[in-house]
Amino acid sequence: MSTCSDLCAATASLQLSDAGIPPLSPEIGRTSWTSNVGNLGEPAQVPATPLLRLRDGNLIPQIGLGVLRVENGQTADVVEGALRAGYRHIDAAAGYGNEREVGEGLKRLGFDKGELRKSLWITTKVKDTNQGYDSTLRAFDEQISDLGLEYVDMYMIHWPTPFDWRSADTWKAFRKLRSEGRIRTLGVCNFLPEHLERLADEVGELPAVDQIELHPTFQQRDVVEYCESKGIVVEAYEPLARTADLHAGDGLIDRLAQAHQVSNAQIILRWHLQKGYVLIPKSVHLNRQVENASILDFSLSDEEMAEIDSLNTATRVGHDPLTFSYA
């Protein structure tokens, strides 16, 4: 039986050799994680996860688990449960204060090394207070040690902090870490087009991923259009608007859920999937984690997608990157 990493590598090399260079718009490939989950001695509860190819050629599992607001004392169990269920993508951050426990969850099942490590995508982010060249290098050392890993798949600038801009220096530290094989993909969060342009002007490179607040009632179309035009994959955080969108549209989401015989969360997450976004819903409950990743066996029609599109407003549930910093 082929291993996941064999399949990932085969898919990547096939797509790369076909195209010659990574395409500017992401393509969706599919692979199966089942053989690795089988190594854990139990069947996967979630289906095979689609992969998106990034501009740097790496393949990211399109559905991951977010761990913001997962408490210490609970995080290792939540991560272990999600991995057992078949998740192969965890979205972490220094700012979430639980990287050590994320690492413990990975280690319990052997995802910190070897073939299982290769089957996993782990993202983490540098805190605003640690932006800058030397401070980012020091922060990364601490984070990777807390996670108990030799490398992370994606390291991200958490906020652009335009009023205290240090992203170019931070990026130079990211590049050094990439050249040492300690980061595979470089990303940013909460960057608006003006921040992406400023970064590109100063460092001559665009990130592979921009992780932004995105859900049916806050679609950030200007940011999405800019990213898509530059081949930057959009990653949707707060994809359920922290539950605020579950009954959006005066009964629209409820009606679609009823029509497809799925949950309201699954309708919203399927919309994200069909849009081509990476999505990282958070749940501490195994049944919801399984529900959130089980969105591959139905599809929304063009009309249904357009109905959800029409829910767009200018209202965030999170912070505004023009004014916010954790620093």
Ligand X SMILES: NC(=O)c1ccc[n+]([C@@H]2O[C@H](COP(=O)([O-])OP(=O)(O)OC[C@H]3O[C@@H](n4cnc5c(N)ncnc54)[C@H](OP(=O)(O)O)[C@@H]3O)[C@@H](O)[C@H]2O)c1
Would you count residue 104 as binding ligand X (CB under 6 A)?
Answer: no
Among 49, 154, 281, 304, binds ligand X (CB under 6 A): 281
Instruction: State how far the Cα of 177 lies from the Cα of 137, in Å rounded to an integer.
Output: 8
Would you count residue 130 as binding ligand X (CB under 6 A)?
Answer: no
> In b/e form, how buried is each residue of 229-249, taking b as 16+ CB within 10 angstroms?
ebebbbbbbbbbbbeebbebb
Size of the site for ligand X (CB under 6 A): 27
Sign for the pseudo-dihedral over CA of 42, 46, 47, 50: negative
Closest contact distance (angstroms) between CB of 170 and ligand X is 15
Instruction: State how far the Cα of 102 lies from the Cα of 63, in Å rounded to an integer.
Output: 17
Q: Phi and psi for 127 in degrees, rounded to 5?
A: -70, 150
Would you count residue 48 as binding ligand X (CB under 6 A)?
Answer: no
Q: Which is nearer to ligand X, 224 or 265 (CB)?
A: 265
Would you count residue 238 as binding ligand X (CB under 6 A)?
Answer: yes
Instruction: State how far the Cα of 287 lies from the Cα of 170, in Å rounded to an integer.
Output: 38
Listing DSSP states for 300-313 in one string gives --HHHHHHHHTT--
Q: In the window 166-225, what residues touch ligand X (CB under 6 A)? A: 189-190, 211
φ/ψ bin of 220: left (φ > 0), alpha (ψ from -120 to 50), beta (otherwise): left
Tell whether 319 is in a known binding site: no
Q: Which is nearer to ligand X, 12 or 120 (CB)?
A: 120
* CB-nearest residue to ligand X: 66
Would you count residue 270 as binding ligand X (CB under 6 A)?
Answer: no
Task: With beta carbons less than 8 A apart as the criterion, state whether 168 and 202 touch.
Answer: yes
Stretch that binds ligand X, among 53-61, 176-184, 224-232, 235-243 (CB under 6 A): 235-243
Would you count residue 265 as binding ligand X (CB under 6 A)?
Answer: yes
Among 148, 305, 318, 325, binds ligand X (CB under 6 A): 318
Would you count residue 294 as binding ligand X (CB under 6 A)?
Answer: no
Instruction: State how far the Cα of 194 lies from the Cα of 285, in Å rounded to an integer.
Output: 38
Instruction: State how far the Cα of 139 lies from the Cα of 126, in Å rounded to an integer.
Output: 7
Exactly one of 87, 96, 226, 237 is catalytic; which is it? 96
* Number of residues written out for the chain: 327
Would you count residue 292 as binding ligand X (CB under 6 A)?
Answer: yes
* Cα-based torsion angle of the residue sequence 88, 177, 225, 301 in order, rounded to the nearest 10 degrees: -10
- Is 96 an active-site residue? yes
Would you count residue 153 as binding ligand X (CB under 6 A)?
Answer: no
Among 9, 16, 68, 137, binds ligand X (CB under 6 A): 68
Closest contact distance (angstroms) between CB of 246 and ligand X is 6
Type of residue numbered 89: H
Q: In the window 76-95, what residues touch ligand X (CB under 6 A)? A: 91
Would you count residue 283 as binding ligand X (CB under 6 A)?
Answer: yes
Q: Map residue 34 onto helix, strand or coil.
A: helix
Residue positions forming the annotated binding site for substrate: 158
Q: Which residues are designated catalytic? A: 96
> Contact residues for ligand X (CB under 6 A)?
66-68, 91, 158, 189-190, 211, 237-243, 263, 265, 280-285, 288, 291-292, 318
